[in-house]
């Protein structure tokens, strides 16, 4: 199993960009589809030990915009955000990259170059 896992949904532009960047550089990784494979509480707890719930909760995406205002109001602390993220993993900011150096949320070529080197 690859020590690098990309978490996201396949039709997300940022996830597609991250996966294409890794493939172009022949960096072995696996993909975990948050929509079909879900997100378990243990994995989310691991992520929250490495970054904040504010970083993980995507408040700019379609899933957030479709969320009932009463449910959105729960996102005021880690407990509320955890409940939302477990109930609907598409609320996770994407991609989440687990790698030997830790956890990276979101995709930017510059960040990936720092992590893995720039050579294609």
57: closest CA among 36, 42, 77?
Answer: 77
Catalytic, 12? Answer yes
Q: In this structure, what CATH number is given to the domain that contains residue 12?
A: 3.40.30.10
The answer as to whether 72 is a domain residue is: yes
Instruction: Point out the catalytic residue in the list 6, 12, 15, 96.
Output: 12
pLDDT of residue 120: 66
The answer as to whether 109 is a domain residue is: yes
What is the domain extent for residue 9?
A: 5-115
Answering whether pTM is above 0.75, one says yes
Q: Percent of the chain having pLDDT more than 90? A: 92
pLDDT tens per residue, range 52-67: 999 999 999 999 999 9
Secondary structure class of 1 (helix, strand, coil): coil
Residue 118 has pLDDT above 80, yes or no: no
**Mean pLDDT (whole number) for 35-40:** 96
Residues 8, 94 contacting (CB under 8 angstroms):
yes
Sheet holding 102-105, edge to edge: 30-33, 5-8, 96-99, 102-105
Which H or E run contains 31? strand 30-33
**Mean pLDDT (whole number) for 4-17:** 97
């Amino acid at each position: 199993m690859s020590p690098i896992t990309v978490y996201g949904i396949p039709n997300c532009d940022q996830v597609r960009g991250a996966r294409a960047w890794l493939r172009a550089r022949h960096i072995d990784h696996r993909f975990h589809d948050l929509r079909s494979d879900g997100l378990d509480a243990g994995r989310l707890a691991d992520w929250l030990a490495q970054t904040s719930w504010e970083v993980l909760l995507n408040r700019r995406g379609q899933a957030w915009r479709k969320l009932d205002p009463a449910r959105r109001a729960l996102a005021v602390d880690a407990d509320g955000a955890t409940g939302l993220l477990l109930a609907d993993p598409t609320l996770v900011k994407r991609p989440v990259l687990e790698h030997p150096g830790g956890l990276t949320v979101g995709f930017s070529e510059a960040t990936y170059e720092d992590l893995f080197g720039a050579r294609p």
